[in-house]
Amino acid sequence: MTDAPASPATATLLVSCSDRTGLVAALSEFVYEQGGNILDADQHAEVETGLFFMRLRWDLTGFKLSRAEIAGAMEILGTRFDLGWELTFSDVRPRVAVFASKAPHCLYDLLLAQQLGELHGDLVLVVSNHDALRSVAGHFGVRFEHLPVDAADKGAAEAAQEKLLAEMGVDLVVLARYMQILSPEFVARRPARIINIHHSFLPAFVGAKPYHQAKARGVKVIGATAHYVTRDLDQGPIIEQDVCRVSHRDDVAELLRKGGELERRVLTSAVRLHLERRVLVSGNRTIVFG
Amino acid sequence: MTDAPASPATATLLVSCSDRTGLVAALSEFVYEQGGNILDADQHAEVETGLFFMRLRWDLTGFKLSRAEIAGAMEILGTRFDLGWELTFSDVRPRVAVFASKAPHCLYDLLLAQQLGELHGDLVLVVSNHDALRSVAGHFGVRFEHLPVDAADKGAAEAAQEKLLAEMGVDLVVLARYMQILSPEFVARRPARIINIHHSFLPAFVGAKPYHQAKARGVKVIGATAHYVTRDLDQGPIIEQDVCRVSHRDDVAELLRKGGELERRVLTSAVRLHLERRVLVSGNRTIVFG
Amino acid sequence: MTDAPASPATATLLVSCSDRTGLVAALSEFVYEQGGNILDADQHAEVETGLFFMRLRWDLTGFKLSRAEIAGAMEILGTRFDLGWELTFSDVRPRVAVFASKAPHCLYDLLLAQQLGELHGDLVLVVSNHDALRSVAGHFGVRFEHLPVDAADKGAAEAAQEKLLAEMGVDLVVLARYMQILSPEFVARRPARIINIHHSFLPAFVGAKPYHQAKARGVKVIGATAHYVTRDLDQGPIIEQDVCRVSHRDDVAELLRKGGELERRVLTSAVRLHLERRVLVSGNRTIVFG
Amino acid sequence: MTDAPASPATATLLVSCSDRTGLVAALSEFVYEQGGNILDADQHAEVETGLFFMRLRWDLTGFKLSRAEIAGAMEILGTRFDLGWELTFSDVRPRVAVFASKAPHCLYDLLLAQQLGELHGDLVLVVSNHDALRSVAGHFGVRFEHLPVDAADKGAAEAAQEKLLAEMGVDLVVLARYMQILSPEFVARRPARIINIHHSFLPAFVGAKPYHQAKARGVKVIGATAHYVTRDLDQGPIIEQDVCRVSHRDDVAELLRKGGELERRVLTSAVRLHLERRVLVSGNRTIVFG
């Protein structure tokens, strides 16, 4: 995390639990009594599973508790209600690394979003198994590291990646059309902390060359899917999807072009939602508070 | 309102006010202390105006207060926080009248939605200035009244309409391509209780023959808009809009066909949102809790 | 086919072949020399396969050849260029049977489209394995036949269906959420003459209960797919697809409602395109001339 | 125009006229007889006006006529059929100048499209009344010229622009959120050769600050419009439009962000369509061959 210059900071609390009776009241009361003004309060009760999810965001101006005290109070509430919870502060910005290969479109989109101030986090590092995108990162003033991946010894590259991520204090890894498969260990260390873009409307067209598959099947709509990475390829919780119409007139090259536009839009959108602490994971699905 | 057979009923509270400090806590606490389980809690703070909006829905099973007592408690809270508020119960279903002329598409869509159980209200009456749609209403078992409108004396038709609406206990009037302008008095008696469908993407193409206007302007997208009716034609608060792509290949007849599909979808959607008590009006805009 | 009252009739020619050199010129020249005014001329060259597709529509007013003579001329051209071709006339309207079970939404949409004059064909028959939709067909003045399907002897129902389709001169069968699987023989007799609506964005969620599958997978977009029926379930050439956004807030019931709206829109659209002779099948894909 | 290295070149012919009898045949015959293989043939007859439009694209490999001879033949056909026509060759690439101010998003999108090889033209120049985007153009290797506009003497800036456009041989000017109004004379010299992006769904919200207008009106969908510039501000022929959903939760800043994404997508799409010679202007509307 990076400490940002002081400004009207907010606290965001994400909560999941199995029994919600009194919870909204208890949490609202807690914020109110300590002088906090609630800016957003969203909740979702999943009837099928009996699970309950909540996102609470409040203004810290004039709040009576220090951040350590808030965390302490949440420990108590968490135990009392058996909560899963995550507490973050808007001025402690997550640090993001983008993994890319040769295709520049998703990387440009993320870097431009950062430059326009649209991300609630800091894109601090670009890692690539090729050197092709060095100038792109450089243009936006972001560190670029070329870490070639040796097919015979992927462990070496991964060790270098881990060292770099630790050194830079990275909280979130974004795979922007990164054409390498991460090891199960690398993934397991980052639950809901790696976002990938798949170039199809999952679960249609898993695996390689989805636009070729789409052409062969003759679909009239193509899509892109941003999801958290899990051990099962293309199977992680979906964060965002979008689609566009295609026709028989679109050859594979045109599908690639249309799809590329979807990919960057969907990936940047998913990253933005994640950084705004709007995404909760429940089993293999996400709750995205709009 | 129609009393529906007893079933797990819910209460829905819509609130708007200018100062929200402590309000979420007070309302949540109130529901919790009386044994209510909150099913939905949505809020929206309009930063520009300082206004605050909330929708709270809770299960009435085991709730300690009677409905009259809930209303009484809300009177007290309403005064304390200077609230605008509306309290409704899911088993007291709003009664709906549809005004139509000759075009059947919107009427069919509303009646089918009702038949499929998709509306949280009862469509009990169809009024028309023509006799053309009598068999449509009859097919769905809904009362139809033919009230011709004499251009020289519109007051007579309106008096008959008012009598009929009162007799049937109608809460909401839906204009399903009704080709007559309502009097300012009729409208003033029903603030946010008349929904109209305009066959364009407002504010583009106000007034007559919007599809002809769209063709003349050469737009690539057309739309439809459902809005509450106010004294100013085509200017009331927008509830729902949707659009579809068109091209130079679409002549006016095809725009009418594509638009007709938009109209019925958008109108039925707006009626459904209204009946689910998801729509709050603020000035000339709506808050629609999704 | 039904003979419609004489009106400015048009001829539509659909052509597919493997070598197109000179074909556009030859066909255009043929129409021009015989006094025809070309209204639409669309073509598509599939680079990957080397196949060529064309749709030509011209005004028959003042055309020098009789319909038999046009067909004769096409025989000659067809042999010369080794064409697959289909010649139809706008005043010979295809006759359509709808197969349905209990769900009324798709049937209503088709019948309403017919009533509004939006189909270039005549919906003359509704067949169902239940009696539930009899009044729907009756309301629109269309013959309804209840043909129960005995799971132990599906052949009997099929024989009755075949007899009925022959008697009514049906050209196109539309499966409007018909919950029975047709026999391979029934299908084989009607290549590209049976249209089905599948309630998912194929190829995602093939098989039963796609909305439940969609909920379990946590997708953010759902869809519907209209396709020609082939021996392989859910695998036939796709004619039309559309999608809508969903979120974690939508339970399965709400997915069913949203999906139902997609289903009827997509199915009616596919039927309309087919009846306007805009659809050509190539392998397992369609060419849809817009 | 820039001469590109020899490759399988194609010719594209755009035609408009008032009487089409025999025209498709004559043009197809002409291409066929000279050994050309037709790749695309699209036509559109505007029934209301009696006008006819056609786009014909053929492979020049083995074509018997030189380019000068094709032009000569078209002169004869043009006179015979009273045609408006435009003949272009795929290897003679239009040269494009982008005018921008401070906002970088549209400029990045165009430059990235160029880098990815998605434009059938060459973006050779960026002109700006500010110096802010110099490094953006530089990053993509495109010439950047800072031409400040003095409100008291706009003529000086325009003279400098004209000189630069002449020097660089520019065929198309793209206004990528250029915040200056061009003089009527500058516009008149470039009919259908200046493309602007307007940040609303025209004709809704003409003029300044459309997102503020959209917020005030409470619309549920916003859009962006790319159009050819004419003397009447925001009134020129529309080439492309697209929209996205918004809600009461989106403040003006979020509308600006969502709109910015629409703007770049719609503008780049319009430029691509223009450069592929898919756009014909008819009165104040466009024919866009898909």
What's the CATH number where A195 sits? 3.40.50.170
Do the domain assignments include residue A175?
A: yes
Among candidate residues D73, D89, D105, the one where a domain is terminated: D89
Same structural domain for residues C216 and C110?
yes
Q: Encode pLDDT of A203-223 as tens digits.
A: 999 989 999 999 999 999 999
**SS3 state at B76:** helix
Give the contacts of C261 (CB within 8 A, at least 6 positions apart).
Answer: B265, C105, C244
- Is the same domain home to C145 and C254? yes
Residue C2 lies in a domain: no
Nearest to B221 among D47, D223, D287 (CB): D223
Instruction: Output the pLDDT for position B5.
Output: 45
Contacts of A241 in chain C (CB under 8 A): 219-221
Whole-angstrom distance, CA of residue A174 vs CA of residue A98: 5
Residue D2 maps to a domain: no
d(CA D100, CA B245): 29
Considering only CB atoms, A22 lies closest to which of B32, B42, B290, namely B32
Identify all chain D residues contacting C28, using CB atoms and an 8 Å cutoff.
24-25, 28-29
CATH number for the domain harbouring residue A27: 3.30.70.260
- Which of D199, D197, D200, D176 has its CA nearest to residue D110? D176
- One domain, residues B69 and B135: no
Output the DSSP codes for D5-26: PP-S-EEEEEEEES--TTHHHH
Pick the residue with more confidence: A38 or A92? A92
**Domain region containing A57:** 10-89
Residue D71 — pLDDT band, cuts 50, 70, 90?
very high
Q: Is the pLDDT of residue A34 over 90?
A: yes
The span from the CA of C196 to the CA of D202, in Å, is 38
Q: Which residues of B touch A (CB under 8 A)?
A: 20-22, 24-25, 28-29, 31-33, 37-43, 45, 290
Task: Give the best residue of A220, A250, A254 to mutate against chain C (max C CB count within 10 A).
Answer: A220
Q: What is the pLDDT of residue B3?
A: 47
Local confidence band at B37 (pLDDT 50, 70, 90 cut-offs) = confident
Write b or e for each residue in C102-132: b if 16 or more Cβ atoms lie within 10 A of its Cβ, otherwise e.
Answer: ebbbbbbbbbbbbbeebbbbbbbbbbbbeee
**Does residue B261 sit in helix, strand or coil?**
helix
Using CA atoms, how far apart are residues C38 and C55, in angstroms rounded to an integer? 11
**3-state SS class at A213:** helix
Interface test with D, best of B54, B221, B227, B267 (most D CBs within 10 A): B221
Query: Are the beta carbons of C57 and C10 closer than 8 angstroms?
Result: yes
> How far is C248 from chain A, CA to nearest CA, in Å?
6
Choice between B105 and D29, residue whose per-residue pLDDT is larger? B105
Are both A60 and A146 inside the same structural domain? Answer: no
DSSP string, C79-134: HHHT-EEEEEETTEE-EEEEEE-S--HHHHHHHHHHHTT--SSEEEEEEESSSTTH
Which of the four pLDDT bands, split at 50, 70 and 90, describes residue D4? very low
Check whether residue A166 and residue A284 sit in a common domain: yes
pTM as predicted = 0.95
Which of A280, D46, D111, A89 has the alpha carbon at shortest distance from B252?
A: D46
Q: Respond yes or no on whether ipTM tops 0.90.
A: yes
Closest-approach residue (CA) in chain D for C19:
D37
Nearest CA distance, C46 vs chain D (angstrom): 10
B268-274: average pLDDT = 98
Q: What is the pLDDT of residue D7?
A: 55
Provide the pLDDT for residue A7: 55
Would B5 be classed as within a structural domain?
no
D124 sits in which H/E element: strand D122-128
Same domain, C189 and C111: yes
Q: pLDDT tens per residue, chain C (290 residues)? A: 444 444 579 999 999 998 667 788 888 889 989 998 888 888 888 877 889 999 999 999 989 999 999 999 999 999 988 999 999 999 999 999 999 999 999 999 999 999 999 999 999 999 999 999 999 999 999 999 999 999 889 999 999 999 999 999 999 999 999 999 999 999 999 999 999 999 999 999 998 999 999 999 999 999 999 999 999 988 999 999 999 999 999 999 999 999 999 999 999 999 999 999 999 999 999 999 98
- What's the pLDDT at C276? 96
CA separation, residue B131 to residues A39, B103, C139 (Å): 53, 11, 16
Instruction: Pick the closest to residue D230 from D185, D288, D164 (CA basis).
Output: D185
Is the pLDDT at B2 greater than 90? The verdict is: no
* D28 with C32: Cβ contact below 8 A: no
Q: A104 and D118 in contact by Cβ < 8 A?
A: no
Chain A: give the shortest CA distance to residue B111, in Å: 29
**Rounded-to-integer distance, Cα C32 and Cα D18, Å:** 17
Per-position b or e across A136-161, b if 16+ CB within 10 A of its CB: bbebbebebeebebeeeeeeebbeeb
The DSSP code for A181 is P
Q: What are D139's two structure tokens?
A: 């990053």
Task: Name beta bridge partners: C146.
Answer: C128
Residues C193 and C209 in one domain: yes
Interface contact flag, B112 C116, Cβ < 8 Å: no
Pair C52, C108 in one domain:
no
User: Which structure tokens are listed for D154?
Assistant: 């706009």
Catalytic residue among A234, A242, A250, A251: A234
Q: Structural domain tally of chain B?
A: 2
Residue B171 falls in the annotated catalytic set:
no
B: neighbours with 3+ CB pairs under 8 Å? Answer: A, C, D
Residue D3 lies in a domain: no
Q: What is the mean pLDDT of residues A70-98?
A: 94
Last residue of a domain, which of A59, A89, A119?
Answer: A89
Instruction: Compute CA distances C243 → A267, B113, C169, D147, whole Å.
Output: 20, 20, 34, 47
Q: Across chain B, what does the average pLDDT equal? A: 93
**Closest residue, chain A, to D242 (C-alpha):** A244
**Residue ending a domain, choose from D54, D89, D124:** D89
Kindly state whether residues C191 and C121 are assigned to the same domain: yes
Within-domain flag for C54? yes
Question: Is A265 found in the same domain as A133?
Answer: yes
pLDDT level of residue B7 (50, 70, 90 thresholds): low
Which CA distances in Å does D169 have to A254, D95, D124?
Answer: 29, 7, 9
Which of D257, D269, D289 to mutate to test binding with chain A, by most A CBs within 10 Å of its CB?
D257
pLDDT score recorded for residue C5:
45
Residue B39: per-residue pLDDT: 84
Q: Quick check: is B272 in a domain?
A: yes
Q: Is residue B255 part of a domain?
A: yes
Considering the domain architecture, whether residues B266 and B196 belong to the same structural domain is answered as yes
pLDDT tens digits, one per residue of B127-139: 999 999 999 999 9
Q: Residue B273 region, left (φ>0) first, then alpha (ψ -120 to 50), else beta?
A: alpha
**Quick one: which of D260, D94, D271 has its CA closest to D177?**
D260
Longest dimension (CA), chain A: 63
The DSSP code for C178 is -
C181 and C265 fall within a common domain? yes
**Cβ–Cβ gap A24/B43 under 8 Å:** no
Given a contact cutoff of 8 angstroms between Cβ atoms, the answer to whether B95 and B124 are in contact is yes
Backbone φ, ψ for residue A219 (5° rounding)? -70, 160
